[in-house]
A and B are shown apart, each in its own frame.
Chain A
Amino acid sequence: MTITESPVVPAPRGSHRLTTSKAMVEAIELEMERDPSVIYLGEDVGPYGGIFSSTTGLQEKFGAERVIDTPISETAFIGLAIGAAVEGMRPIAELMFADFMGVCLDQIYNHMAKIHFESGGNVKVPMVLTTAVGGGYSDAAQHSQCLWGTLAHLPGMKVVAPSNPNDAKGLMISAIRDDNPVVYMFHKGVMGLPWMAKNARATDDVPDGDYTVPIGKANVLRQGHDVSIVTVSLSVHHALDAADALAAQGIEAEVLDLRSLVPLDRETILESVAKTGRLVVVDEDYLSFGMSGEVAATITDVDPGMLRAPVARVANPDTPVPYAHGLEYVVLPRQDRIEAAVHRVVKA
């Protein structure tokens, strides 16, 4: 696999407070100003500004030729983005919900992700596929899935999932500049939307100007020596909340925000577990055949002996996301389940 790292640019001085969605928009805006080949396509991305505020104000600024409302024809407009990317543009196509990939998956995994390989590296597809993921607000089984494990399983596309405003901006700039197709999966619960319960870290200081967050590099958000909690996206915040609560009980958890699933930063996972000897993986996606198993295998492939306790996986228990609030909150990997898993591995 060829990994095209974007150069890491030191954050310029100065910062301002943004929600995750506004940080994402700012990144797109900066890149559209810098590079006229960047366009944004999707449903309700024009005057509406994206159902989850992923494009607020962009059409006003760049016009309907570059920020384009499409018909509800995902196969057509994602395919169009692929073709434009092949011809040297840097399109961003938005799939409104990751759950909707069912209607257009062929363009994504057989075309967007494979053209570079099939052409023997002669044809690049430098595009970004943005999509909203996640549950927690009773949107039920067809509008609440994460599905990053599905896309990460299929070779040829990078997969990123920011958890906070800083990463949302830096990863977006990296994604646009990357010569590979990058799937950029934003959790509705981290966007800081005014009409949805938001976590306290959905608004934060974001460096001014353009900067990149490298794709494929995890972020150790909290140091600890008793257990490694490895997670991504909204679950990062539940993990941090759990770590705070556990610290009061004398357990120091290290929290890793993977930020990217593809490439997966196995080195940082290994370093952390080598130190703690205990691993809890938290994943809002389905349990089986997914990210949590991949992270666990990262350890067992190298040295199962570094584990002092069995790995605990806190994920969706292979159940479509239920509508009723009380049922949904059972299947989501929330703070209480993470704390319980940490206690299990620490006692083991």
Chain B
Amino acid sequence: MTTTAHDTPQVVAELDSATRLGLYRTMVLARTFEDAILREYHADKGPGFDIGKGLVPGEMHLSSGQEPVAAGVCANLTTDDAVTATHRPHHFAIAHGIDIDKMAAEIFGRETGLGRGRGGHMHLFDPVTHFSCSGIIAEGYPPALGQAYAFRAKGTDRIAVAVTGEGAANQGAFHESLNLAALWKLPVVFVVEDNDWGISVPRSASTAVASNAARGAAYDMPAERVEDNDVEAVYAAAGRAVARARAGDGPTLLEVHTLRLLGHFEGDAQGYRPELAEVPGRDPIPEYEKRLRDAGLLDDATVAQTKKDAHERVEAAITFAKDSPVPDPTHATSYVFA
């Protein structure tokens, strides 16, 4: 179900087969990547759990369950468009077409990584696909304004997509960005991934409005909320928003009610949250797979092939990362200045 801020249902047109299979493949690739990182992350944290240990140390925020948002939005983009993502960035990076070898290498802290091992998984920067992310809540919104501004100044119809979570919609940077983008009619699509939880705090305890789409009205900005973590509804809603931005009609606010299948970070015991079975929503990938099977677009063989392709691609990236050199410690202070 898709609703606007005024709860007017939108008709979702039937998508063509190639697009639907593309959405499925993107989600499978993103999930396969997260499953591999999950495995690698926990492979060497013991005895017990030491967050600083292992080949992939530090905080790890995985996006499993939120793939429909990234797949649905980014299928409307090219790599000439910009995406600014969050501390939970992998699904958007993959959906936007980032080189997953380089992303995996960055997560493993290697010299071949996107940031030569300096940034880590919350700080991925790729000038090739105009992708970036930030570990600070809502702080990816303002830079997206500037990318959109630059694209328009260059006379192109390129756009910027800014992503954040529902918890971040209570930050000043969120509201300042919405106002400025609306005021200057910047070609931006603001995406809110509502996974119900800001770490341990449910949205009911953090947010005064039931839907962040309601906040679009404060800035005279078109806004929609997509329920059900439905990739095709996201694709359609994002399509409308992207078209508006490319046409010079200004920004859109798009909230998607999605699902965080894992903890806020790996190691999060999630004592605050009921069993996943009771959490609204279900794993979106088997759901979508069933839908495409019912439509005759997938069968056992094509599903197996899609998963095999994703597995091989991801394992190649993991191998590339592990085989890459670690940064030379004598260069620890490099790259502070140009």
Instruction: Establish whether residues B110 and A69, one from each chain, have CB atoms under 8 Å apart when the complex forms.
Output: no
Residues 19 to 39 of chain B near chain A (Cβ within 8 Å): none
Is B170 in the interface zone, CB < 8 Å from A? yes
What are the residues of chain A within 8 A of B332 when measuring CB–CB? 317, 319, 322, 327, 330-331
Segment touching B, from A133-141, A147-155, A229-237: A133-141
Most buried by A among B205, B206, B271, B333: B333
Instruction: Establish whether residues A71 and B167, one from each chain, have CB atoms under 8 Å apart when the complex forms.
Output: yes
Residues 315 to 334 of chain A near chain B (Cβ within 8 Å): 317-320, 322-327, 329-331
What are the residues of chain B within 8 A of A143 when measuring CB–CB? 59, 122, 135
What are the residues of chain A within 8 A of B205 when measuring CB–CB? 69
A71-B170, A100-B136, A319-B333 in contact; A194/B59 too (CB < 8 A)?
Answer: no
Q: Which residue of A lies closest to B273 (CB)?
A: A47
Is B280 in the interface zone, CB < 8 Å from A? no
Instruction: Establish whether residues A323 and B120, one from each chain, have CB atoms under 8 Å apart when the complex forms.
Output: yes
Q: Which residue of B lies closest to A327 (CB)?
A: B332
Contact of A44 among B110, B137, B199, B329 (CB under 8 A): B199
Q: Which residue of A lies closest to B202 (CB)?
A: A69
Segment touching A, from B48-56, B75-83, B182-190: B48-56
Most buried by B among A137, A319, A324: A324
Instruction: Establish whether residues A323 and B118, one from each chain, have CB atoms under 8 Å apart when the complex forms.
Output: yes
Instruction: Establish whether residues A319 and B336, one from each chain, have CB atoms under 8 Å apart when the complex forms.
Output: yes
Is B239 in the interface zone, CB < 8 Å from A? no
With A and B bound together, what is the CA distance between A273 and B271 in angstroms?
50
Is A46 in the interface zone, CB < 8 Å from B? yes
Instruction: Establish whether residues A330 and B329, one from each chain, have CB atoms under 8 Å apart when the complex forms.
Output: yes
Instruction: Establish whether residues B50 and A196, one from each chain, have CB atoms under 8 Å apart when the complex forms.
Output: yes
A47–chain B nearest beta-carbon distance, Å: 5
Instruction: Establish whether residues B136 and A195, one from each chain, have CB atoms under 8 Å apart when the complex forms.
Output: no
Is B297 in the interface zone, CB < 8 Å from A? no
Contact of A318 among B137, B329, B336 (CB under 8 A): B336
Contact of B136 among A103, A139, A318 (CB under 8 A): A103
Residues 307 to 338 of chain B near chain A (Cβ within 8 Å): 326-327, 329-333, 336
- Chain A 39-80 against B: per-residue CB contact (8 Å), 1 yes, 0 no? 000011011100100000000000000000111110110000
Instruction: Establish whether residues B170 and A142, one from each chain, have CB atoms under 8 Å apart when the complex forms.
Output: no
Instruction: Establish whether residues B333 and A317, one from each chain, have CB atoms under 8 Å apart when the complex forms.
Output: yes
A32–chain B nearest beta-carbon distance, Å: 21
What are the residues of chain B within 8 A of A140 when measuring CB–CB? 58, 119-120, 122-123, 135
With A and B bound together, what is the CA distance between A46 and B138 in angstroms?
23
Most buried by B among A48, A70, A317, A331: A48
**Interface residue SS majority, chain A:** loop
Instruction: Establish whether residues B58 and A72, one from each chain, have CB atoms under 8 Å apart when the complex forms.
Output: no
A47-B271, A142-B134 in contact; A323/B170 too (CB < 8 A)?
Answer: no
Q: Which residue of A lies closest to B134 (CB)?
A: A142
What are the residues of chain A within 8 A of B326 when measuring CB–CB? 324, 326
A44-B201, A197-B52 in contact; A137/B57 too (CB < 8 A)?
Answer: yes
Q: Report the count of interface residues on A (CB-CB < 8 A).
A: 42
Is A10 in the interface zone, CB < 8 Å from B? no
What are the residues of chain A within 8 A of B200 when measuring CB–CB? 44, 46-48, 69
- Chain A 196-208 against B: per-residue CB contact (8 Å), 1 yes, 0 no? 1100000000000
What are the residues of chain A within 8 A of B121 when measuring CB–CB? 323
Residues 325 to 348 of chain A near chain B (Cβ within 8 Å): 325-327, 329-331
Instruction: Establish whether residues A72 and B52, one from each chain, have CB atoms under 8 Å apart when the complex forms.
Output: no
Q: Which residue of A lies closest to B117 (CB)?
A: A324
A141-B123, A323-B109 in contact; A103/B139 too (CB < 8 A)?
Answer: yes
A323–chain B nearest beta-carbon distance, Å: 3
- Chain B 102-124 against A: per-residue CB contact (8 Å), 1 yes, 0 no? 00001001100001011111110
Q: Which residue of B lies closest to A96 (CB)?
A: B199
With A and B bound together, what is the CA distance between A323 and B119 in angstroms?
5
Residues 196 to 254 of chain B near chain A (Cβ within 8 Å): 198-201, 205-207
A73-B170, A137-B58, A139-B59 in contact; A197/B333 too (CB < 8 A)?
Answer: no
Q: Which residue of A lies closest to B115 (CB)?
A: A323
What are the residues of chain A within 8 A of B201 when measuring CB–CB? 43-44, 46, 69-71
Q: Which residue of A lies closest to B56 (CB)?
A: A138
Instruction: Establish whether residues B109 and A325, one from each chain, have CB atoms under 8 Å apart when the complex forms.
Output: yes
With A and B bound together, what is the CA distance between A99 and B331 in angstroms?
24
Is A102 in the interface zone, CB < 8 Å from B? yes
What are the residues of chain B within 8 A of A320 when measuring CB–CB? 118, 336
What are the residues of chain B within 8 A of A136 when measuring CB–CB? 52
B48–chain A nearest beta-carbon distance, Å: 7
B263–chain A nearest beta-carbon distance, Å: 11
Is B274 in the interface zone, CB < 8 Å from A? no
With A and B bound together, what is the CA distance between A320 and B271 in angstroms?
34
What are the residues of chain A within 8 A of B156 when measuring CB–CB? none
Q: Which residue of A lies closest to B267 (CB)?
A: A195
A71-B207, A137-B57, A142-B123 in contact; A324/B109 too (CB < 8 A)?
Answer: yes
What are the residues of chain B within 8 A of A138 when measuring CB–CB? 51-52, 57-58, 109, 120
B276–chain A nearest beta-carbon distance, Å: 17
**15 other A-B residue contacts (CB within 8 Å) besides A47-B271, A48-B199, A323-B115:** A43-B199, A48-B271, A70-B201, A73-B172, A138-B120, A140-B123, A195-B48, A196-B51, A197-B52, A317-B333, A322-B117, A322-B327, A323-B109, A327-B332, A329-B329
29 residue pairs A–B, Cβ–Cβ below 8 Å:
A44-B200, A44-B201, A51-B199, A69-B201, A71-B198, A72-B137, A73-B170, A73-B171, A102-B136, A137-B51, A138-B51, A140-B122, A142-B122, A195-B49, A195-B51, A195-B267, A196-B52, A318-B336, A319-B336, A322-B332, A323-B58, A323-B106, A323-B118, A324-B120, A326-B109, A327-B329, A327-B332, A329-B329, A331-B332
Pairs A-B, 10 closest by C-beta atoms: A323-B120, A137-B52, A324-B109, A138-B58, A138-B57, A330-B332, A324-B117, A48-B200, A140-B120, A142-B135
